[in-house]
Each structure stands twice: as C-alpha cells, then as structure tokens.
Chain A
Amino acid sequence: MTKQEITEKFKTRFGPDLEVLETGQPETYLYISESRYHELCEFAKNDPDLDFDYLFNFGGAHYPEERFEIVLCLSSHEKRHNAIIKVKLDKDNPETVTISDVWEAANWFEREAMELFGIKFKNHPDPRPLLLVEDWDHGYPMRKGWTGPDFIPMPEE
C-alpha cells in the first residue's frame, strides 16, 4: 500500500483521535491519542491490508515542559510498507498500556523505556530492569536535565 492509502485507512477508523504529520518523509507518520493506542496497534497488526507484523523500533522521547512521547516504527514483511506511530504522554506522570501482547518484541523495548525514561506500562508481563547497573538508584538517565554521580555535562562553547 502507498503512504496515502495507509494514512486513509487509519483515518477512517480512528478519525478524530488521529493527527497526521506531514514532514516529507516516505512513510505514514501520525500521532494517536493515548486512549486508543492499544486499539490502533491491534488494528495495525490484524488488518489484512495493513498487516504490520514487525515492530522494528520503539523508543521514548522527552520534551521537558511539554510531554513524553513513545515512537513505534512498524513494518510489514509481506506488503513491504512502513509506518511511524507516536503517542503523547503526560509530562509529570507518563503512563500507558503495554503492547507486548500485540508484538512480543515490545517487551524488552518497553523495559528499556521504563528504565531510561520512567514511562510506566500497565499490564507489562515482566517489568524488571534491563540495562542499567543492578543497584542503580539515580533516576531516569535519558530524561533531559538528568545528572548523576559522575556525570560531566558538555561544556558550553
């Protein structure tokens, strides 16, 4: 499917909860509201035309004073098309639901985002820390403005 067809398909189903971004990139690029995020993921995976069977990237982002975001990069092996889905989360208490029941790959990605950004994922099957030192207690290092014990910020020019 082309970019326009995919975007239309999502638009007809999710209409007002969707915000399509146009920045000249080759794939569909959109914001979905947090309330219908899980529904969109199930739709993207199970719809026979979309057939997004592969979650190839999942990340967090922090915009201080505004919001947290999570970014999903989806791909379809069969149909050979991609899409990028973003979700805006609350700036003080970022929380959403897990999608590891839709794509199993999201399990470790969400553990990473949990540990580095402090985003909470409800119903996550295995919410243990993944990457940092075992006795880490210095907060969430990927948040903007984070400082730690031997953290040395880049000096200004």
Chain B
Amino acid sequence: MGIIEKVPAYIERIPGGGIVTTTMDWVLNQSRACSLWYMLFGLACCAIEMMAAGASRYDFDRFGMMFRASPRQSDLMFVAGTVTHKMAKRVKVLYEQMAEPRYVLAMGGCACNGGPFYYDCYSVLKGIDKVIPVDVYVPGCPPRPESLMEGCLKLQQKIKKEKMSDWASDRKKA
C-alpha cells in the first residue's frame, strides 16, 4: 500500500480533516463488518456446528456472512476444530492466501489452546495463535451456533472500532 497508508494520518492533521477520516472510517467499517465472508473450511467436529450456524435455522446470512470456497475471496477464517502440527502448516498457507483485511476466529477448545488434547498428546498444536494471529476466541467443545454468533458479533464490534489513521502503524491488519 505504501504511501496510501500514510494519507489518513496526514489528513487528520489538517483542520477539519478529522471529519473526513471519521466519516470514511464509518463507511469502511460498516461495509467490512456487515459483509464478513468466511472461508468454507473446517478441520474437525466444530465444522459441523459451523455448518449449522451457516444453515437456515441459525442463518449467518442475516449478518451478511456468506461462505466463500476460496481464501482469495474471504475476509474471515473460522479455525473450526483440532489443529494438528501437520495441518498447522496448511492453515498458515491458507491464512496467507487471504486478502487483507483478514480476520481469524478460533472456534472451540482445540483451536484456542489444544482443548482436550492439551495433555499427553504428540500431534496436536496447543492453540492456533502459535501460528497465526487470532481476533476472537470462542471456547466450547464444540461451541453451539449461538456462541459462534456471539463471537462474530464481537468481531463486528472490533472491526467497527478500527481507524484509518492506524493503517500505517498497525501492520498486522493494514
């Protein structure tokens, strides 16, 4: 992005420039938060709950969330299930293939910290946050669709607090 990243920070210094950036923030954040397209990607039993949350009974569509079958088109990744060491490499590649801004929701105990596989286990990664940055953790084994939705609403709140002027400093998201 280069110089574009720094533009909002300069505009903010001009008298009255804050009005421009906050208005643009509002527009961008609303459009990002209300069209979180998530990647169609599940690792274990949590994926079943994720599918239930996406289907008509719980209906993610009412938050503007639809699944995309490609990382290139998705904004949000649910890490839904047990992440083994072997799979962690693949998850990282998928994360890197997503276009920015991108968000990660760790779903279930296994993705948060290893969950039931925390002790006496040679093959499971102890939390996906050791490999990729996580925005929201949703505990549960597996979490019910309601919990997942709560997590998504928390993520929306988080997105709505983002500022353009942080682009240059916050390298993680911008």
Contacts and interface: CB of A to CB of B under 8 A. Distances in A.
Contact of B85 (A133, A146, A155): A133
Interface of B: 85-86, 89, 118-123, 126
Nearest to B119: A154
Provide the main secondary structure of the chain B interface: loop
Interface residues of A, number: 14
Contact of A133 (B86, B119, B121): B86
A150 B126 CA distance: 8
Interface majority SS on A: helix, strand, loop or mixed?
A: loop
A21 interface: no
A106 B167 CA distance: 57
Contacts of B120: 151-154
B122 A153 contact: no
A-B residue pairs, 4 tightest by C-beta: A141-B122, A154-B119, A133-B86, A133-B85
A138 B120 CA distance: 15
17 contacts: A132-B86, A132-B123, A133-B86, A133-B89, A134-B86, A141-B122, A141-B123, A148-B122, A150-B126, A151-B120, A151-B121, A151-B122, A152-B119, A152-B120, A153-B120, A154-B120, A155-B119
